[in-house]
Amino acid sequence: MQNTKQVSGQGSARETILVIFCFLGHSLLSYGNNAIIRWNLKYLCFKDVEIYFIFKVD
């Protein structure tokens, strides 16, 4: 099944920022003791970035 792009340029930029934010942010927060923030960040990554990979890696 071929993917349909919602927004051509803007969507890509937003998704890239989400990926960078999740991986970089999670790395930085994992060194701190901000358990609640870290849990929320993990949830955000699983909710948004996993969808990003499912639709983009194919």
- At residue 9's C-alpha, the angle toward residues 12 and 7, to 5°, is 85
In a domain, 50, yes or no: yes
Which residues, in sequence order, are CB contacts of 3 under 8 Å at separation 6+? 55, 58
Summarised one tens digit per residue, pLDDT across range 4-22 is: 444 445 567 777 777 776 6
In a domain, 49, yes or no: yes
pTM of the entire predicted model: 0.30
Domain span including residue 32: 19-56
In a domain, 3, yes or no: no
- Tally of structural domains, the chain: 1
In a domain, 5, yes or no: no
Q: Report CA-CA distances (Å) from 25 to 7, 15, 34, 41.
A: 25, 15, 12, 8
pLDDT-derived band at 35, boundaries 50, 70, 90? low
pLDDT value at residue 15: 72
